[in-house]
Chains A and B, each alone.
Chain A
Amino acid sequence: MVQPTIEETRLSTEQAIQTYRTGARITDVDALVVEGFSVYYETDSGTVKACDDVTFTLKQGERFALVGESGSGKTTLAMGLMRLTRPPGHIAKGSATLNGRDLTKLSDHEMRMTRLSELALVPQGAMNSLNPVMRIGRQIIDGIIDHVEDDKQAPNKDELDETVRDLLTRVGLRPGVAKLFPHELSGGMKQRVAMAIGISLRPSLIVADEPTSALDVVVQRQIMQTLGRLQEGLDASIMLVGHDMGLVAQFADTIGVMYAGKLVEVGPVEEVFSDPKHPYTKLLIRSLPSLKEKREFLGIPGLPPQLIDLPVGCAFADRCPSRFKKCDEVTPQTQNLGGRRETACHLYDGEAKS
């Protein structure tokens, strides 16, 4: 297996130091506006509302983390935004406006051209997301040449080779990797290749779906820091989908917490971690073990509900320590609590600001 030399990566390390200047990165331009977005699965036993009525806004340059347990609908939402939902799933309602265009209204061809060029996916489990019988270089080039508009000249071989070399170097890989097959790379290297593909057309939004779930902590940190550095270079936004609250705390600017298909809380990472509003978020953060202090483990009692034919009311009510009568009668709506803080919980009824 081939790895970049230490010298090669040290070059990039220096750039990485600038990664956390949040203020300088986020602009006030809306990159992605998601409104009432819903993905349903029609099954024999009923409609599964895997992702229901999700609304949020992602600013240009922002790192937005979507967290939740398995089955909470976070990956469904991400795949739905890319319009990669497979039958029997379908986008039931809502809109997702990326740079002023509603993705749900695009034709199939327009959507195909939008993928990678404006909206790129860095997939979960990069292990298998590369075609095992195709060289790395070719897999990077593929995406580029399939996005050349009909009336434009395709780049020639030398230009493409140069692009591949450049992309690989930028994600911290040796240019020679282009000639290798996926099985000749380690997990971390494959994830880097996936990132090189993701940024190849300078997208304005990168959807990173659990990009480091199968990797070791040191490699995970390297990958996330590289991803952050690449985002800086592109002025792009990132939607990080994951379940690891630690990773979110390290990486994201804004966090959105999903539970049973709904977005239950949104807010700046520092604020949500120090002062969570929704009881689910509170319990989730309380359950995280730390290296600072030893204490008893605190889980969240109970299990998430089945998503088929959810009853009216709050889906978290059964597990909620603050449950009261209204929780079983009215489905809570998202309310703004000032700044960018939002939550869908009846505890805050009456505190809403507009």
Chain B
Amino acid sequence: MGVLNHFVVKRFLFFLFVVWLASTVIFIIPRLSGQDPVKEKLLLEAQRGGAMQTGLDAMAKTYQKRFGLDQPLWTQYLNFLQDLAKLDLGVSIAFFPRTVNDIVFESLMWTLGLMGTVTILAFVLGTLAGAVLGWPRKPGWVQYIFMPLLTLSAIPQYLLAMILIFLIAFKLGWLPLFGGYSPASVPTLTFEFVVDVAKHAILPAFAIIFSAIGFWAIGMRGMMINTQGEDYMIQADAKGLKGSRIFMRYAVRNALLPQVTGLALVLGTIVTGQVLVERVFSYPGIGDILFQAIRLSDFFVIRGIVIIIILGIAGATFLLDVLYPLLDPRIKVRNS
């Protein structure tokens, strides 16, 4: 137990380290370019005049006070880290005085709901498909059903999304074209609304699942084939075990380990794919907000989203790291 605690503490310290280093990079990037997107944005707004005019002074003051641009760089850096520690991501430029937290957290729910479900589903289905494909005693037809499916993994998710929109939503009209829910419906916890949300989620979900299944299946298939060569697989046969037990408890169980490690490595890619799929579907998640923010050059919202995503990936990696020893008993001993 002591060892395990030790291990968890170490992983957590590393999680903090990753977040700190990543935030520092994010802090440095704008300083390197020599440009100030915030000032430029303010200038642009000022030139346009109009509705924003009245708020502009207040905004500039808040901006000055919050970021203390007259102060030395390290003070700014410390302020930035301090805000980050409080999870305060700043104020939006385009929608002043709404805070970034306000804007981002609303859409975060949509993204997490969709991405969480879909990632787990794709991982499970893909791993199963790969396990069967890598099993020498599989029925012959499996090869012909799954192999074309694997090729789908080569197609980027957002392109698959476009094809699905065209075929299912546009041509056949079975499902809605875009959005997270119908504009007419009221976001409350009624049955109708839940069904509406589910309908809108199907296509984006399928776009992601279809292409991710292949990815996981290919990895798992390779690991299954590697596992076949292990001595314990021959011994399992020599023990006269049932085929199903050898498959699940010996082959899949061992092939799964690198698969889980792989999950931690591609979290970043998963998030990126999701962001773009949301863009294609105008799904009201973090990807759509990001796109809007880019169009409006809303620097603080963009930065906030990047920080949130990095926190999410680092957090998920930390969780996987901590849970991994439950899957592989050898890790506890190695302790590093």
Contacts and interface: CB of A to CB of B under 8 A. Distances in A.
Direct contact of A and B (CB under 8 A): yes
Interface of A: 82, 84, 112-117, 120-121, 123-125, 127-134, 142-143, 146-147, 181, 183-184, 194, 197
Given A116-B240, A133-B328, A146-B240, A184 B333 contact: yes
16 contacts: A84-B234, A115-B237, A115-B240, A120-B238, A124-B231, A125-B231, A127-B231, A128-B230, A131-B250, A132-B232, A132-B330, A134-B250, A134-B253, A142-B245, A146-B239, A184-B333
A121 B249 contact: no
Interface in B11-33: none
A84 B241 CA distance: 13
Nearest to B241: A146
Contacts of A116: 238-240
B239 A133 contact: no
A233 B330 CA distance: 35
Contacts of A132: 232, 254, 328-330
A117 B236 CA distance: 14
Interface string B250-265: 1001100100000000
A131 B245 contact: no
A181 B327 CA distance: 12
Given A84-B238, A143-B241, A146-B240, A129 B231 contact: yes
A130 to B, nearest CB: 6
Contacts of A130: 232, 235
Nearest to A144: B239
A121 B231 CA distance: 12
Interface in B79-122: none
Contact of A123 (B231, B257, B329): B231
Nearest to A132: B330
Given A84-B237, A123-B238, A147-B240, A131 B249 contact: yes
Contacts of A183: 329-330, 333
B138 to A, nearest CB: 14
Main DSSP-derived SS at the B contact region = helix
Best-buried of B234, B245, B254, B330 by chain A (most CB within 10 Å): B234
Given A128-B232, A142-B249, A115 B327 contact: no
Interface residues of B, number: 23
A333 to B, nearest CB: 32
Contacts of A82: 238
Contacts of A142: 239, 241, 245, 249
A263 to B, nearest CB: 22
B163 to A, nearest CB: 40
Contacts of B237: 84, 115
Nearest to B230: A128
Contacts of B250: 131, 134
B254 A131 contact: yes
B240 A129 contact: no
Contacts of A84: 234, 237-238
B230 A146 contact: no
B242 interface: yes
A97 B250 CA distance: 30
Contacts of A117: 240
Contacts of B236: 131
Given A128-B232, A133-B330, A181-B330, 6 more contacts: A84-B238, A114-B240, A125-B231, A127-B231, A131-B249, A131-B250
Contacts of B328: 132-133
Contact of B235 (A114, A121, A146, A184): A121
Given A131-B254, A142-B249, A115 B238 contact: yes
Interface in B209-252: 230-232, 234-242, 245, 249-250
A121 B241 contact: no
B329 A133 contact: yes
Interface in B23-78: none
Contacts of B231: 123-125, 127-129
Nearest to A128: B231
Nearest to A183: B330
A146 B171 CA distance: 54
Contacts of A115: 237-240
Best-buried of B230, B240, B245 by chain A (most CB within 10 Å): B240
